[in-house]
């Protein structure tokens, strides 16, 4: 795989809602590239017929009954919110629709 | 609108999201209810507070599997995955859904009109909170700010994805109607589009009739009713056909249906194609559907609309796709019809009455035996169709003996000779009309019949009058 | 040094009040924490009130719990209701959770007295606690050096006798490595044995909560107190928690212990640390264990796999910090801009690096090559461990490559990541491991050695650790 580039870094920063200054871009790009390059040993392995392990312990069907449980007090939660109106969380205009 | 447009086929696939009828949310014990005060049904889990963890609601899984069985799907190992994107109504800024291993795959649904529509998958996922846009005209563009209520965040959803087997707006509406009926029959969801417990997105493309390749499709969102669905599909199909006819290309994009303006509008900004970075949800473990549960779900499956149509058709000698049958089931009057036929009623008259005269409150509680008797009276000529309709209305109001009702209203059949005299009198009084009728003018026949009805104060049976007129006409021709 | 077991016994007997114990520790904190900065927040009033409540239970003849009156320090990524939980990040500065983590509830029920929230690398990402937004913690053995990380504050708190017990989280070594650098015992349980509910997530399939203590016995007691199935955590193992305190002193006679050759042959391993591991191996042999060389070949890929899996999960876990519902908000004209401005101002450099790394590893076109592949390498590591455990009951190795390093010594991220080579494999496998102090390095600073065990084998792991401890 090609080494991670400035554009790659800008792209993932955008996906992750992070603004980077030029200085940060200059700093982070080689740092990230070094880590990805270190991971090249993994990349080079042929593990096509090795199944992935998403989870170290093989649990299945962990479920809970459909029963009401106490939630949290709305006031306690809203008190911690940056901006509230009418019992709801207030945010600046949302441009763009739900993906 | 037919399913083709100027030689173009309108191809539709629908994605339907339904809220499951559980007591609590998908991953926490908060109430799953509509309409409560904002942010009163929340907890660390559905708010996505730091440190919170999801635990799957067993009832949601059961309902999802039941729905899958009702749609003839194969139940598979289900694996939850994170769909990552930023949006303020999403507390974790990722949605827990299912990606490459959904719980239900490869099913189908038969439309009442007969077409079989493939169901690609029906998977489980959590719902988002609700945004309210303030300022502007309440729409997202031009709003001053937005307010978010997380009561709905974490409500369990099943997303049902159809294959692009639907053709035209009528089939699209039929599909959604049938799905809704299935959801209600199985108690999986109350499927109220107006409350948002069932939401439809339509993927629409066009291609020339006879073409095998699919055209470029657009996804249409914000369809709040069956009517909107139909209108949006028709508008979008026309838009695409016009574009192609003008030598342009259809761009794959998401569009929004603007109900007020009656058109779709381009939605998502095109440079930012979302990369959801799906990966298996590490806070959850896979769902393995158990044979015992599946068997129980199948064994306890209530009659689905298709089953009811088949049964009613079988009992009445009609086809399951006949509109009378479809309507009877859609109105919930199939049980009544079956009981009436069982009690000796005439199947044809029963179905006709259900279709034409029983779209009223209280119809379902008519005494089936009385209904059966009524239809036999009609067949035997004791009541005209019009008279039967009146008597039926009384049965709806609670009367139980059609003969008594008929007598009370003075409905008796006219005897044949009196009828013939009445007809001849009218013919004599209207010689020019008679001549026109004898010469083949159908409208003239209608006028003459009307005159007979008038002269007999409605006691004459329209069909019998017609029969006499035809005989006279035949005799005159000789 | 104070021992938790002793405190609990004397408090339960009434020979000493919990209040007296907590006052003693608070005095030590007041004296030395300004220098060390083990704590983000000292809960003096709350701790005194909790101690008084314990004493009241004792007075009424009610059983006050296995950790009665024991002051405990909690890493500041454990949700404590009504008490600021910052994860040492500006983005959560001042945030008070409306709920307690399950572990916190269990500790309270056990009679423990929560004395403070300890410093960490921001969002548990780091190996030195230098990434804290509120300033680093200093190693009590040498304040010019790091205590390790990410649970540096908790390790330092125990090392400085601010509390007999502390708790941290271990995702790639964040309990064991600081334990080694601070000369205390630090343990990571089998994945799923201790509830993660209320632990602010870093990497969900790797995170585990565990104890710091001055003795193996105390660590064992602490582990037993917090472990056990939690219905609020889907990944919580339903199995019975292995009882570890009862068999602690049974010794290692007949236990087969393998010294991991890949670890001892690793490039960055300091010779003095390697020597201590061999000393530990000898000690175990003298105590009756059968000690031989063992091989777990795929562990050499552990670092790479970890630095793809952990950041990937973290990038998703940290998406929720968007300025909408809690924490820092930096205003902007649109929500998207506000999200970005908030996260940019609120996250430190290391957190940003890992978020970007993780986003990259998951992104379209790269998933199979990076994250997808790392999950398969994880399987290889698991299989190699399984194979090794056919011939051995336990494995032995170093915890950290060297003793505590000076502040600023590992500015290069990759150099910092290399601190975790010996601890990461256990996280990837979900296996338990414990680090205990075993002598000092050439510089006189503590060295830790690590005992690794298969899943749910905490009992034999603690036995071996106890035997090693007895030999020092």
Domain-by-domain residue ranges, chain B?
Answer: 4-298, 305-408, 416-477
Q: Which of C84, C170, C74, C181 is closest to C125 using CA atoms?
A: C170
Identify the DSSP state of B31.
B
Query: What CATH fold (topology level) applies to the domain C4-226?
Result: Amidase signature (AS) enzymes (3.90.1300)
Query: What CATH fold (topology level) applies to the domain B416-477?
Result: Arc Repressor Mutant, subunit A (1.10.10)
| Tens digits of residue pLDDT in B15-65 | 999 999 999 999 999 999 999 999 999 999 999 999 999 999 999 999 999
Task: Give the chain B residue nearest C367 (alpha carbons).
Answer: B277
| Tens digits of residue pLDDT in B379-401 | 888 888 888 999 999 899 888 88
Strands of C208-213's sheet, edge to edge? C39-42, C113-118, C71-75, C165-170, C208-213, C185-188, C433-440, C446-452, C394-398, C256-260, C290-294
How far away is chain C from the Cα of A26, in angstroms, using its nearest Cα? 13
Find all residues with CB under 8 Å of C196, minimum gap 6, and list them: B51, B53, C204, C207, C208, C209, C233, C235, C236
Segment B96-117 mean pLDDT: 97
In a domain, A67, yes or no: no
Which residue would you say has higher pLDDT here, B273 or C434?
A: C434
Alpha-carbon gap, residue B351 to B371, rounded angstroms: 11
Percent of chain B with pLDDT over 90: 72
Alpha-carbon gap, residue B77 to B75, rounded angstroms: 7
Residue C94, phi-psi category: left (phi > 0), alpha (psi -120 to 50), beta (remainder): left
What's the mean per-residue pLDDT of chain C? 97
The dihedral over CA atoms of B185, B191, B194, B197, expressed in degrees to the nearest 10, equals 160
Using a CB-CB distance cutoff of 8 angstroms, which residues of chain C are in contact with residue B56? Answer: 234
pLDDT bin (cut points 50, 70, 90) of residue C2 is: confident
Segment C283-310 mean pLDDT: 96
Q: How many residues does chain A have?
A: 99
Please tell me which of the candidates C234, C315, C359 has its beta carbon nearest to residue B283. C234
Numbered residues of chain C with Cβ closer than 8 Å to any chain B Cβ: 77-79, 85, 87, 92, 95, 97-99, 101, 196-201, 203-205, 231-235, 312-313, 315-316, 319-320, 322, 324-326, 335-336, 339, 359, 362-364, 367, 371
CB–CB of C235 and B282 under 8 A? yes
Judged by a CB distance cut-off of 8 A, whether residue C302 touches chain A is no
pLDDT bin (cut points 50, 70, 90) of residue B269 is: low
In a domain, A53, yes or no: no
Name the percent of chain A in helix, strand, coil, to the closest 5.
35, 10, 55
| Backbone CA torsion sign across B410, B414, B418, B420 | positive
| Tens digits of residue pLDDT in C331-357 | 999 999 999 999 999 999 999 999 999
**What is the model's pLDDT at position B356?**
92
| Tens digits of residue pLDDT in B172-191 | 999 999 999 999 999 999 99
**What is the model's pLDDT at position B136?**
76
Q: Helix or strand or coil: residue B206?
A: strand
Segment B424-431 mean pLDDT: 90
Find all residues with CB under 8 Å of C10, minimum gap 6, and list them: C16
In a domain, A19, yes or no: yes
Please tell me which of the candidates B24, B56, B277 has its beta carbon nearest to residue A68. B24
Which residues make beta-bridge pairs with C116? C42, C73
Catalytic (active-site) positions of C: 75, 150, 174
β-pairing, C39-42 vs C256-260, is: unpaired
CB–CB of A92 and C333 under 8 A? yes
CB B221 within 8 A of CB B251: no
CB B165 within 8 A of CB B115: yes
Burial pattern B142-175, b for ≥16 Cβ within 10 A else e, equals ebebbbbbbbbbbbbbbbbbbebbbbbbbbbbbb
State which of A36-40, B363-367, C230-234, C367-371 shows the largest mean pLDDT: C230-234
Alpha-carbon gap, residue C339 to A91, rounded angstroms: 10
Segments of B342-447 assigned E as strands: none
**What is the model's pLDDT at position B88?**
97
Alpha-carbon gap, residue C200 to C92, rounded angstroms: 11
Percent of chain C with pLDDT over 70: 100
Please tell me which of the candidates C201, C235, C325 has its beta carbon nearest to residue B47. C325
Using a CB-CB distance cutoff of 8 angstroms, which residues of chain C are in contact with residue B86? Answer: 319, 322, 336, 339
In a domain, A24, yes or no: yes
β-pairing, B4-5 vs B8-19, is: antiparallel
> DSSP labels for C143-195?
TTB---SSSHHHHHHHHTTS-SEEEEEESSSTTHHHHHHHTSEEEEPPTTSS-
Judged by a CB distance cut-off of 8 A, whether residue C220 touches chain A is no
β-pairing, B116-126 vs B104-110, is: antiparallel
CB–CB of C326 and B91 under 8 A? no
- Is residue C270 exposed (0-12), middle (13-18) or buried (19+ Cβ within 10 Å)? middle
CB B215 within 8 A of CB B205: yes
CB–CB of B277 and C92 under 8 A? no
Its CATH class, for the domain covering C248-297+380-471, is: alpha beta
Task: Give the chain A residue nearest B281 (alpha carbons).
Answer: A54
How far away is chain C from the Cα of A93, in angstroms, using its nearest Cα? 5
Segment C397-426 mean pLDDT: 95
pLDDT bin (cut points 50, 70, 90) of residue A40 is: confident
CB–CB of C326 and A56 under 8 A? no
In a domain, A31, yes or no: yes
Neighbours of A, requiring at least 3 CB pairs below 8 Å, are B, C
Residues of chain C with CATH 3.90.1300.10: 4-226, 248-297+380-471
CB–CB of C380 and A50 under 8 A? yes
CB–CB of B23 and A67 under 8 A? yes
Give the residue numbers spanning the domain of A17.
6-43
What's the mean per-residue pLDDT of chain B? 92
What pTM value is reported for the model?
0.92
How far away is chain A from the Cα of C96, in angstroms, using its nearest Cα? 7
Task: Give the chain B residue nearest A90 (alpha carbons).
Answer: B147
Count of structural domains within chain A: 1
* Other C-beta atoms lying within 10 Å of the C-beta of residue A99: 16
CB B204 within 8 A of CB B255: no
Judged by a CB distance cut-off of 8 A, whether residue C370 touches chain A is yes
| Tens digits of residue pLDDT in C40-86 | 999 999 999 999 999 999 999 999 999 999 999 999 999 999 999 99
Task: Give the chain B residue nearest A98 (alpha carbons).
Answer: B87
Q: Report the range of poorest mean pLDDT among B22-26, B140-144, B258-262.
A: B140-144
Q: What is the ipTM of this complex?
A: 0.96
Segments of B85-155 assigned E as strands: 94-98, 104-110, 116-126, 130-134, 145-149
Alpha-carbon gap, residue C107 to C104, rounded angstroms: 5
**What is the model's pLDDT at position B1?**
44
Which residues make beta-bridge pairs with C437? C448
Please tell me which of the candidates B41, B147, B277 has its beta carbon nearest to residue A71. B41
Alpha-carbon gap, residue B225 to B228, rounded angstroms: 5
CB–CB of C199 and B51 under 8 A? yes
In a domain, A39, yes or no: yes
* CA distances for C388 relative to C78, C190, C289, C425, angstroms: 35, 17, 16, 13
The verdict on whether omega for the bond into residue C150 sits within 30 degrees of 0, i.e. cis, is yes
In a domain, A27, yes or no: yes
Alpha-carbon gap, residue C63 to A71, rounded angstroms: 30
In a domain, A10, yes or no: yes
pLDDT of residue B414 exceeding 70, the answer is no
| Best residue of A8, A52, A85 to probe chain C, by most C CBs closer than 10 Å | A52
CA angle B323/B324/B325 to nearest 5° reads 90
């Amino acid at each position: 795989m090609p080494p991670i580039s400035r554009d790659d870094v800008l792209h993932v920063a955008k996906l992750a809602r992070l603004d980077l200054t030029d200085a940060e871009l200059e700093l982070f790009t080689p740092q990230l590239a070094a880590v990805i390059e270190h991971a090249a040993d993994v990349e080079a392995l042929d593990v096509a017929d090795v199944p992935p392990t998403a989870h170290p312990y093989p649990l299945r069907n962990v479920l809970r009954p459909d029963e009401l449980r106490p939630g949290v007090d709305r006031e306690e939660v809203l008190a911690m919110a940056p901006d509230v109106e009418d019992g709801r969380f207030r945010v600046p205009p949302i441009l763009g629709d739900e993906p | 609108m037919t399913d083709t447009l100027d030689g173009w086929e309108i191809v539709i696939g629908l994605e339907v999201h339904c809220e499951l009828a559980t007591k609590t949310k998908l991953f926490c014990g908060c109430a799953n209810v509509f309409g409560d005060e904002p942010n009163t049904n929340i907890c660390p889990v559905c708010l996505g507070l730091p440190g919170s963890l999801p635990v799957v609601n067993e009832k949601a899984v059961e309902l999802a599997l039941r729905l899958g069985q009702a749609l003839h799907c194969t139940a598979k190992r289900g694996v939850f995955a994170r769909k990552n994107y930023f949006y303020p109504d999403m507390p974790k800024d990722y949605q827990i859904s299912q990606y490459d291993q959904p719980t239900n795959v490869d099913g189908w649904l038969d439309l009442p009109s007969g077409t079989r529509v493939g169901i690609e998958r029906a998977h489980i996922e959590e719902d988002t909170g609700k945004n309210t846009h303030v300022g502007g005209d309440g729409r997202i563009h031009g709003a001053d700010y937005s307010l978010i209520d997380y009561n709905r965040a974490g409500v369990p959803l099943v997303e049902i994805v159809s294959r692009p087997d639907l053709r035209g707006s009528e089939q699209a509406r039929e599909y959604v109607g049938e799905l809704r009926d299935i959801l209600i029959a199985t108690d999986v969801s109350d499927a109220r589009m107006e409350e948002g417990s069932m939401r439809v997105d339509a993927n629409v493309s066009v291609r020339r009739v006879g073409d095998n390749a699919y055209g470029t499709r657009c996804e249409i969102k914000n369809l709040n009713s069956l009517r909107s669905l139909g209108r949006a599909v028709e508008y979008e199909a026309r838009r695409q056909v016009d574009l192609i006819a003008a030598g342009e290309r259809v761009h794959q994009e998401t569009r929004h249906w603007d109900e007020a303006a009656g058109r779709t509008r381009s939605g998502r900004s095109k440079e930012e194609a979302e990369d959801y970075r799906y990966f298996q949800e590490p806070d959850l473990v896979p769902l393995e559907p158990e044979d015992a549960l599946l068997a129980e779900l199948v064994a306890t499956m209530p009659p689905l609309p298709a089953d009811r149509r088949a049964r009613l058709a079988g009992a009445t000698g009609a086809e399951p796709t006949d509109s009378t049958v479809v309507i009877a089931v859609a109105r919930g009057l199939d049980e009544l019809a079956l009981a009436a036929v069982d009690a000796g009623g005439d199947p044809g008259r029963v179905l006709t009455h259900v279709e034409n005269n029983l779209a009223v409150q209280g119809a379902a509680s008519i005494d089936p035996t009385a209904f059966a008797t009524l239809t036999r009276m009609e067949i035997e000529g004791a009541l005209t169709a019009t008279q039967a309709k009146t008597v039926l209305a009384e049965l709806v109001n609670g009367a139980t003996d059609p003969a008594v009702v008929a007598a009370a209203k003075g409905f008796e059949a006219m005897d044949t000779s009196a009828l013939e005299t009445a007809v001849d009198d009218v013919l004599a009084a209207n010689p020019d009309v008679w001549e026109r009728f004898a010469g083949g003018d159908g409208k003239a026949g209608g006028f003459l019949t009307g005159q007979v009805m008038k002269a007999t104060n409605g006691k004459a049976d329209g069909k019998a009058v017609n029969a006499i007129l035809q005989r006279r006409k035949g005799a005159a021709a000789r | 040094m104070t021992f938790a077991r002793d405190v609990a016994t004397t408090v339960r007997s009434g020979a000493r009040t919990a209040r007296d114990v907590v006052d003693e520790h608070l005095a030590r904190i007041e004296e030395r924490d300004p220098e060390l900065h083990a704590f983000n927040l000292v809960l003096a009033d709350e701790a005194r009130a909790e101690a008084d409540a314990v004493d009241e239970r004792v007075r009424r003849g009610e059983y006050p719990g296995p950790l009665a009156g024991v002051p405990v320090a909690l890493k500041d990524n454990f949700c404590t209701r009504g008490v600021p939980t910052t994860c040492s990040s500006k983005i959560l500065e001042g945030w008070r959770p409306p709920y307690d983590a399950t572990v916190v509830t269990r500790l309270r029920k056990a009679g423990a007295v929560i004395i403070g929230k300890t410093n960490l690398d921001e969002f548990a990402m780091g190996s030195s606690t230098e990434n804290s937004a509120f300033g680093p913690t200093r190693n009590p053995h040498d304040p010019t050096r790091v205590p390790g990380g990410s649970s540096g504050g908790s390790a330092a708190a125990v090392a400085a006798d601010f509390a007999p017990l502390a708790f941290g989280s271990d995702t790639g070594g964040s309990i064991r490595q600081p334990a080694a650098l601070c000369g205390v015992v630090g343990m990571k349980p089998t994945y799923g044995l201790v509830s993660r509910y209320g632990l602010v997530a870093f990497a969900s399939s790797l995170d585990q909560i565990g104890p710091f203590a001055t003795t193996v016995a105390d660590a064992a007691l602490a582990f037993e107190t917090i472990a056990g199935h939690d219905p609020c955590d889907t990944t919580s193992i339903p199995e019975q928690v292995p009882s570890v305190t009862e068999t602690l002193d049974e010794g290692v006679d007949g236990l087969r212990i393998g010294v991991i050759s890949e670890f001892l042959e690793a490039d960055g391993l300091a010779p003095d640390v390697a020597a201590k591991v061999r000393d530990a191996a000898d000690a175990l042999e003298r105590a009756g264990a059968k000690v031989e060389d063992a091989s777990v070949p795929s562990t050499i890929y552990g670092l790479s796999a970890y630095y793809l899996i952990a950041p990937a999960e973290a990038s998703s876990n940290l998406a929720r910090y968007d300025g909408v519902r809690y924490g820092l908000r930096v205003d902007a004209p649109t929500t998207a801009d506000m999200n970005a401005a908030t996260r940019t101002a609120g996250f430190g450099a290391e957190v940003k690096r890992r978020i970007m790394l993780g986003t990259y590893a998951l992104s379209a076109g790269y998933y199979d090559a990076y994250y997808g592949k790392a999950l398969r390498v994880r399987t290889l590591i698991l299989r190699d461990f399984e194979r090794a455990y056919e011939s051995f009951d336990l494995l032995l190795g170093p915890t950290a490559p060297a003793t505590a390093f000076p502040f600023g010594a590992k500015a290069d991220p990759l150099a910092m990541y290399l601190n975790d080579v010996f601890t990461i494999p256990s996280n990837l496998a979900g296996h338990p491991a414990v680090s205990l102090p075993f002598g000092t390095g050439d510089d006189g600073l503590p060295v830790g050695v690590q005992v690794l065990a298969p899943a749910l084998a905490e009992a034999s792991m603690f036995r071996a650790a106890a035997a090693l401890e007895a030999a020092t």
